[in-house]
Structures are given as C-alpha cells and as structure tokens.
Structure 1
C-alpha cells in the first residue's frame, strides 16, 4: 500500500524546538533582550576600547568565537542543512549544527524552515523578511529594510517546521541539537568569560572577555547575518539572473564568510560556493573545500561553468 503524505507526517515529531509555530510573549521578550543588550555593547565598544579595556586575549577569544558561530551558520545552517550543498559525515554534521546554534540565531530546524520559506517566496508575498514588503518609495523601503533586518523575528506566527523542514525533523541528531538550543546558547555565553578568566587569572579578564567575546561578538554576528536579508536584497550588483532582488555587496564578503555574494546564491541556491566570479572571496566555500580534502564531506555541489554562463546577464541575448 502506498504511504500517503499525511501518513508520513505522523512519523514526524510535533516540533523540533522548545517553542511551537506561534511565538509567545516570553519568547519575544527574551529575543528582544538578546538583540538589545549586544547592540548596546557594540555602541559602547569604542569608548571601552579607548579606556584600555581590551587585551589580546579578548581579541583572540572574540575572533575565535565569531568564526565558530559564523561558519556554523554559513556552512552548517545555510549551505548544508537548508540547501544540501554537500553531504557530511555524522560527527561533522552534529558539530556544524552545534556551532550554528552557538551563533544564537535560533534552533537549527526553525532557522532552516524560515530560510526555505524565504527562498520559496523571495521578495514576494509570503517572504518572511523582504525589504520590499511595504512598497518601493524611499519611506517604504526604509521601513522594509528595518523589517527585513530584524523586526520579522518578532512575528507571532512562526514558519511551520513540519512543512518546511520535514527532512531535518526525521533526523534524530538534528532534532536533539535543535531542542537543546538553550544549552548551546548558555555555552556560547559562558565560554568567553571562562577562557578570559583562566588566561588572565583575574575577574577583570573574565569581565572584558565577556564584553568582547560574548556581547560584542554576538551583536556583530547578528547584524552581519541580518544584513544579508536587508542590505543584500536592496542595494548592490546583480550580474546573474534571479527572480528576485538579491544582490552582491562586496564589503560584507569577509565578515559574512562569503554570504554577501547573494545574487549567485539566489540564482543557483544549492551551489556550495557563492563567490564564483574573479576576486570574490568566499571563506565558507574554502572551508567546505578543506572538509572535502580531509574526507569529511562528499558530493559537494561546486559551481558548474555551463550553469554559470547560462545565468550571467552578460550572456543573455539582447
């Protein structure tokens, strides 16, 4: 007997996160605190550094933690779990899911569901975070960019996980990591001050490491990631054909790990490399290449010249 879609759905857990498909007031308040407090730290960063409250241990801890979260999001949450750009072994799969969770941008299943919905409706009705939501006037785009950057996170109605991420909900490893998001968040918050205290053997070292390695690091990574939703759908170059307004913004390429080569990504979403033209640095793709050389991943969907040529606007008939 043929298994129907409804029967397959009954095999899935009801949800893979602590919260459901509707966001509670407590979740919204917690989200606001995780956005506001790191943002205040970013604003205070210059005077704090000027006052001498920044050491080399703080820099090393902050950069290391930023890199773990960044590649957890770009290589793990995005290119692997959302778009299946490569196939990892089990330890790497779990490690990338945990690393992405430590960016504190939400549980992996919820993040993937949101992003898949974004691609399905990109810059059209139904897109969770299009900057063109309110229209094309200057005021409407400004309001839309603010919505796309972070206000969409407060939408009470969440993306249905069973509809947009059923494959992940069938994976016990990913469901377990997703449900333990609170634990990875706690570890992400506490590792910097613990390391800072141990390295300097002082409470001051723990405090400055918490400021730079936790608060500033989380805030910067949040806003760099959110800028892909807002800035990279508003301004920039669009050399490839896509059905939306996705664009390339070169000055975000390094802090975003290559994610800001966003136009090619929307033209060819499953491609493991986003920066495919000359001079387009893509550190996330380079990391996937290293994993491939180590034998930790296989079936990487690298760019195909014929596909790229077919999508380049310069190659389209006049």
Structure 2
C-alpha cells in the first residue's frame, strides 16, 4: 500500500476527490501534440541547419538566455516553489516565476503542479502518471516504459484532478489567472526571441533564425531534459539516500537540468530547497533560490541540515534496477 507523506498528501476537504478530472479536450490534445512534436522536429533539423550557416552568436545567446529563464521558471517556480513549497516568495516573485515557467511550453502552472504532486503521491506505483516501471521489468516492458515516462504520457487523454492535487493554486487568483493565459505565454515564448533577433539585426532573417534557435530548438532541448528526469532518473543512476521509489541521481544531466537530476535526494526529501547536497553536486536552481533569499524576495527556505540528511541515510532504500 502506498504511503503518502505530509508534503505529498493532496490538499482537499469534504471527502476524497477522484484522481482524475475527466479527459483532456480535443483542442488541448492537439495543442499537446503541436507543442511536443514541432520543437522535436526542429531539434532534429538543427544540426544540418547549423552546418555553415543560419546560426549566429546572437542566436546562441538568445537560446541560452531563454533556456535559463524558462528552465528556472520550471525548476525554481513550478517545481520547488509551487509544487513542494520548499520556500516562500513575495507576490512579485511568485508571479514572475509562474510566467517564466509558462514560457517553457510545458503546460499551464496549475496542471503542471497537479501532475507532479500526483507523481509524488504515487511514485512508481499505480496512479503515477509517468513511471517507467508501469509495464513491468522485462527488457521489452522497460523499453515501453521508458517511452511512456519520457514522452508517451503527455499524449494520454486523462487529466489529473487539480481540485484534489492543487486547490491552493486554484484559489490563488494571480496564479490561476496566469494558468488560464497559456496561449498568450506560448506566443510570447516563440515570438519574443524572434522580436529581439529581428530588432538587433534589423532583418527578417535575424528574426527567423532567432525564432528557430531560441524558440523551437530551445523549447525542444528543455522538453527532453525535463522529460529525462521522469524517465532516466527513475531507471538508472545512484541512490545514496533512502526513498520509497526508484528515483536516482544522474550526474550528466545536472547542469542542463539546473540541479533537478539529483533526483534521489529530491524524492527522499521533497520539500528540501537544494537537491544537490553533496560536494561537487551542482545545483543552479538552489543557488538562484539562495540569491532570491539574499535579496529578501524569498524566505522560510527549507535548506538541508546535517540532521535532516542523516535521517535519510539511515532509512531503508527502495533500490533501483
């Protein structure tokens, strides 16, 4: 039987609410296909396009800048702040992080949080929306599970019940309004780089290459890095800390994921603001939270302590295969 920790327990009153909330609308399903497939096709075309033309230092700078902006919006905002409440933020910072995360084109903030809280509540068990162990442990089942965890689950029609898993965000007028404006943020995510590229170069070609590299390709890379946390980081890697699932650390993803691939500690202690807690474990997201704390914009940060980490070391491990 699955044990749900206090942090992962869905917030609701008035009796149990269902896990799911009907099915995605046909329009939303089409949008998911577009958001996933278009950037992925752009990524597949990136290498031959870059061979000798069509890529400038401006494109590289814009791609890195928008990758950091949208990626940190997801890791610091959607994940560590809104999902797990590992720190508290002033209203302006909450709004800024919600908008920045929305530029990653990973869905609206409320749905993202609901899905992720459901994942933690049922991690690697029935009810987990994207466990790679869903179909079994044979090589064929794991191959199928990898595809499901990495990308396949996004095409499912079932929708996580936000009223059960994210009632706090539904009740937050600022965040709920930002969630409803997903189409606007999608347009901004793709056209803002093009606008900057066009204005700097004063050319349509500069706008087009910026749209391709800092828009489509940047989104595709960030998508696959994020999805790798769902798939790779539940299949292979190290488990230095005790968790009740198969979450692992995968160090090659640490920089691109901005600290999210120190996934074992995160599942062992979901509310901890730092995921890379050992020497040499780069965690850019934690450093950004630290910076916000120094500025006075973030407070009540749940930093790791020796006692907190020692307790995790002493608990039994689930074991990765």
Same fold (TM over 0.5): yes
Q: Provide the rounded CA distance (Å) in 2 between the counterparts of 1:115 and 1:146.
A: 18
Give 5+ residue unaligned stretches, structure 1. 10-19
| 1:222 aligned partner | 223
With 63-72 and 302-311 compared, the bigger mean Cα shift is at: 302-311
Q: Which residue of structure 1 lines up, in the alignment, with residue 150 of structure 2?
A: 149
3-state secondary structure, aligned to 1:276: coil
Does the residue aligned with 1:312 lie in a helix, a strand or coil?
helix
Distance 1:117 1:76, change over 3 A: same
CA displacement 1:152-184 (0-9 Å, x = unmatched): 112211000000001111111111111111111
Cα deviation for residue 315 of structure 1 reads 10
The aligned counterpart of 1:29 is 30
What is the CA-CA distance between 1:21 and the residue it aligns to? 4.4
CA apart distance, 1:309:
1.3
The answer to whether 1:5 aligns with 2:6 is no
CA distance in 1, matches of 2:160, 2:35: 20
Secondary structure of the corresponding residue to residue 52 of structure 1: coil
Partner residue of 1:296? 297
- Identify the residue that residue 8 of structure 2 maps to in structure 1: none
- Secondary structure of 1:307's match? helix
Unaligned runs of 5+ in 2: 1-11
Contact 2:63 2:214 in 1 (8 A): yes
TM-score, normalised with respect to structure 1: 0.92
Counterpart for residue 245 of structure 1: 246
Q: Which residue of 1 aligns with 2:182?
A: 181
**Structure 1 pair 91–53 and aligned structure 2 pair: CA distance change class (3 A):** same
Q: Hey, what does 1:61 align to over in structure 2?
A: 62
Task: Name 1:236's counterpart in structure 2.
Answer: 237
Structure 1 segment 101-140 matched on structure 2, within 5 A: 101-140=102-141
CA contact (8 A) 1:232 1:260 kept: yes
**SS of equivalent to 1:158:** strand
1:258-297 CA distances to partner (integer Å, 9 max, x unpaired)?
0000000000000000000110000000000000000001
Relative to structure 1, the CA distance from residue 46 to residue 171 in structure 2 (aligned partners, 3 Å threshold; closer, same or farther) is same
**8 Å CA contact retained: 1:246, 1:262:** yes
8 Å CA contact 2:150–2:227 kept in 1: the answer is yes
Q: Does the 8 Å contact 2:242/2:315 carry over to 1?
A: no
Alpha-carbon separation, structure 2, partners of 1:51 and 1:34: 28
Report if the CA contact (8 A) 1:239-1:313 is conserved: no
Question: TM-score, normalised to structure 2's length?
Answer: 0.91
**1:106 is paired with a residue of what secondary structure?**
coil
What is the deviation of 1:25? 2.3
1:49-88 superposed matches below 5 A: 49-88=50-89
Q: 1:313 Cα shift?
A: 5.8
What residue number does 2:286 align with?
A: 285
Q: Is the 8 A contact 1:271 1:301 kept in 2?
A: yes
SS of residue paired to 1:6: coil
What is residue 40 of structure 2 aligned with on the other side?
39
Hey, which bits of structure 1, 4+ residues long, moved more than 6 A? none
CA–CA distance in 2 between the matches of 1:142 and 1:308?
33
